[in-house]
Amino acid sequence: MRRTKLTFLLPLLITGLGLKSFGQSTASITITNDSKDTISRHIYGQFAEHLGRGIYGGFWVDPSLPVKKQDRIRLDVVAALKKIKIPTLRWPGGCFADEYHWRDGIGDRSQRPKMINTNWGGVVEDNSFGTHEFLELCKLLECEPYVSGNVGSGTVQEMSNWVEYLNFDGQSPLTALRTKNGHPKPFNVRFWGVGNESWGCGGSMTAEHYSDEYRRYATFAKDYNNARLKKIACGPSDQDYNWTETCMKNIGNRMWGLSLHYYTIPTGNWGNKGAATGFGEKEYFNTMKNTLFMEELVTKHSAIMDKYDPNKKVALVVDEWGIWTNVEPGTNPGFLFQQNSLRDALIAGTNLNIFNNHCDRVKMAALAQCINVLQALIITDKEKMLLTPTYYVFDMYKVHQNAQYLPIKLNTPDYEFEGKKLPAVNVSASKDAAGKIHITLVNLDAKKDIQVNTELKGMNWKNVTGQILTSANVADINTFEKPNTLIIKGFNGAHNNEGKLALKVPAKSIVALELY
């Protein structure tokens, strides 16, 4: 998480999505069956930082709250996230990670020291949710933990000890301490972030300094039996291509992955990001333009990585992405709570399509964030729980996890507003282990339905079923009073037209199709 100024322009040609914009009323798609790439399930990862009500009041609730719990872990939240098959959960931050000292969050909770969360609201952190609680949450979610280590204010020994505490299956003072704390067997945590946003809140480092620090920290983060680490280096913010160049040159294959952080800011202005609700088409159009910049970022950072890693062994890990707006009026500005609209769902679908289409390099991602913070999947208020439009996108797209990527060529009409244009349609496709074909389409045009004609080369299918997520207005939201304004509904608008797929994608909608 960071606060930086960002300026950019959306290019007219979006090459990585395989699309060009033309003055036409229909979109045409060609899908081929000649790829051996897999869409990693880890692209569908989530992020939970000690920020606002993300952990406390989200996952970890007061013992007196009248909801089903295991210890203090809220089980209706767990059930909702299990349904969409989240593969990984990143923790404890974010900026919080580089002021977090893991020993403060183990042992008797009544004896754990309190601290001030200086990044997010200046509130007291009581450390009641720590390492063991996080790993119990991941066990309940049936997902893999992704731990961000403290490079900014920590030490090499501190991170090395944390790895040993979690992963060593032998006798040592740290494994004895783990046993004393109730877990004799190792946790075998594979995914480790070596610092977070080290160019900003994680230490204000230069790329050269960070890459040297990475090598030092990574040397002492040891592999143990059954837990060969997948070390993820702090990568660039937005279009800092020099940072990527430096890390690839100086770190190379010493890392499993290199992170990338990019937030969709509706106005492009960090000082006044724009409202989460009540916006009009102008704000909507600008937001969609800004979110499509992810395509250029992934393409250009990947090209730099290709220079040093032509066999694509190092993953691009987009472990913070999503829309960031002004907070809801009357809420703590340090808690980053914002409502979640159809606009956010369209952002989610678009970005996931981008990641799917770059699955040769993008192997992992994490939406910011999971509960009650930024582009949340879930919003809670005491005993109440609400699923957001973004949640339903992840439910629709889960079929892509670990499926075979199907390459796409797309020609799309433009979405035009006040003399400006952007590509109206984006899409990704995959084939699962059972041979079923899944296609996810997003129509960003706020007003126009778009006819889509699709040819599938080298694939046999007869039947098609579909789902759709849309609403009357791009600013529509789900509320506790009206939780079903935006939910997944059946879509019957696709059919087999002599071996070709034909459908009309309604304005401002996400459509998921299954062909078999």
Of 152, 379, 362, 344, which is closest to residue 257 (Cα–Cα)?
362
Q: In 10 A of CB 252, how many CB atoms?
A: 14
The 3-state DSSP class for residue 207 equals: helix
The reply to whether 197 belongs to the active site is yes
Cα dist. 407→38, 362, 429, 455, 456 in Å? 11, 15, 7, 12, 10
Q: Which structure tokens are listed for 72?
A: 């203090």
Residues constituting the chain: 516
Q: How far is it, in rounded angstroms, from Cα 231 to Cα 190?
A: 8
Q: How many CA atoms lie within 13 A of 259 on its CB side?
A: 30
Of 487, 447, 446, which is closest to residue 468 (Cα–Cα)?
487
Catalytic one of 125, 133, 197, 213: 197
The 3-state DSSP class for residue 290 equals: helix
Of 505, 468, 21, 473, which is closest to residue 289 (Cα–Cα)?
21
Q: How far is it, in rounded angstroms, from Cα 328 to Cα 332?
A: 9
Q: How far is it, in rounded angstroms, from Cα 353 to Cα 119?
A: 32
Q: Are strands 489-490 and 464-469 parallel, antiparallel or unpaired?
A: antiparallel
Sign of the dihedral defined by the CA atoms of residues 12, 16, 22, 24, in that order: negative
Q: Could you give the angle at the alpha carbon of 357 between the alpha carbons of 356 and 359, nearest 5°? A: 60
User: What's phi and psi for 454, nearest 5 deg?
Assistant: -125, 130
Contact assessment for residue 259 and residue 318, using Cβ atoms and an 8 Å cutoff: yes
CA 474 to chain centre: 21
DSSP code per residue over 235-256: --BTT-HHHHHHHHHHTGGG-S
Q: Which structure tokens are listed for 18?
A: 């395989």
Of 326, 369, 351, which is closest to residue 444 (Cα–Cα)?
351
Q: Could you give the angle at the alpha carbon of 258 between the alpha carbons of 410 and 59, nearest 5°? A: 90
Torsion of CA 151, 53, 337, 2, to 10 degrees: 0
In eight-state DSSP terms, residue 326 is P
Helices (H) and strands (E) in the chain, counts: 10, 28
Q: How far is it, in rounded angstroms, from Cα 126 to Cα 451?
A: 55
Catalytic one of 99, 213, 296, 320: 320
Catalytic annotation, residues: 197, 320
